[in-house]
Structure 1
Amino acid sequence: MNRNDYSYRRDAAVPAFPDDKPLIIFDSECVFCSGWVKFALKHDRAQRFCFLAAQSALGAALYRHYGLDERDYETNILIEDGRPHFKSEGSIRMIAGLDFPWSLARILYILPRPFADRLYELIARNRLKIAGRRTTCYVPSPEERSRFLA
């Protein structure tokens, strides 16, 4: 798995994309994941984050680039300053990047990474049982559209 900063820029299989803002790649068919995106849109008043459906061509290319299955989304991906973050690390960084009081989530870094990742994996494995699957991908509103790639 290539985790070097901006490694996707050197991968011919990954289309060029604007990477000047942190990018959250999510399973847009998962109700839980789409709900997280709606939450982030509401609480990211500074419009710090951009979003990308994993089901898009670019999303699939990035999953493959990082050695992940582009059909079984075991983790959201946060790409920030060209560096990928997965599982608990990515989720904590996403929440901590939101406006106050969500930025206080930085306190979650005190959790040992193996424990936090196991908790993340438990939720990720059961997310469709917990919240279900959408029959169509999440579609942003016209006001939100500028925050989404592809």
Structure 2
Amino acid sequence: MSKNPLVLFDGVCNLCNGTVDFILKRDRKKQFRFVTLQSESGELIRKKYHFPEGIDSVIFILEGKVFYESDAALEIARLLPAPWKWATIFKIVPVGLRNAVYRWIARNRYRWFGKKEECRIPTQEERKFFPGPNDLEL
């Protein structure tokens, strides 16, 4: 798999795209890579890791370990600089409660934040952070 932390996201979701922009802006080490769930790369990764049915929001893969829902968000935050990494304090909240809040936001994300007609297309400068199917080490 990728040597870099890999964020899989819903490419048509405005909230998810905003999250990618947020990470790109704050990732001083330029360590994160991003793949839309709807892309060919996303499909290849889905097949390799056998994601559970119905997962359509952020998935995070770090050193071969897959994180879903609130754990994905908190692991991503952990790799960002302060003060963002301090969000990991929310791990003290029981995972069931964290994931219930996460799922509530995920269920309403299109209504609250909107949706694009097509997946995000990275800018020329961003392309190196969005591996294609031939760039993945599966």
Task: Give the TM bin, normalised by the shorter chain.
Answer: 0.7 to 0.9
Alignment RMSD:
1.4
Q: 1:76 aligns with which of 47, 58, 66?
A: 58
Give the whole-Å Cα distance in 1 for the aligned partners of 2:38 and 2:30: 23
Runs of 5+ consecutive residues of structure 1 not aligned to the other structure: 1-17
Q: 1:57 aligns with which of 35, 40, 56?
A: 40
Q: 1:66 aligns with which of 44, 51, 67?
A: 51
Q: Does 1:87 align with 2:69?
A: yes
Q: Does 1:96 align with 2:78?
A: yes
- Cα offset for 1:57? 1.6
Q: Which moved more, 1:116-125 or 1:137-146?
A: 137-146
**Higher RCO (CA 8 Å, separation ≥ 6 residues):** 2
Runs of 5+ consecutive residues of structure 2 not aligned to the other structure: 133-138
Give the whole-Å Cα distance in 1 for the aligned partners of 2:89 and 2:127: 32
- Cα offset for 1:117? 0.4
For normalisation by structure 2, the TM-score amounts to 0.88
Give the whole-Å Cα distance in 1 for the aligned partners of 2:109 and 2:45: 22
CA offset digits 1:121-149 (Å, max 9, x no partner): 00000000110110121111111110111
- Cα offset for 1:27? 0.4
SS at match of 2:25: helix
Give the whole-Å Cα distance in 1 for the aligned partners of 2:29 and 2:37: 24
Correspondence for 2:12? 29
- Cα offset for 1:67? 2.6
Q: Does 1:47 align with 2:51?
A: no
- Cα offset for 1:62? 2.9
- Cα offset for 1:61? 3.5
SS at match of 1:100: coil
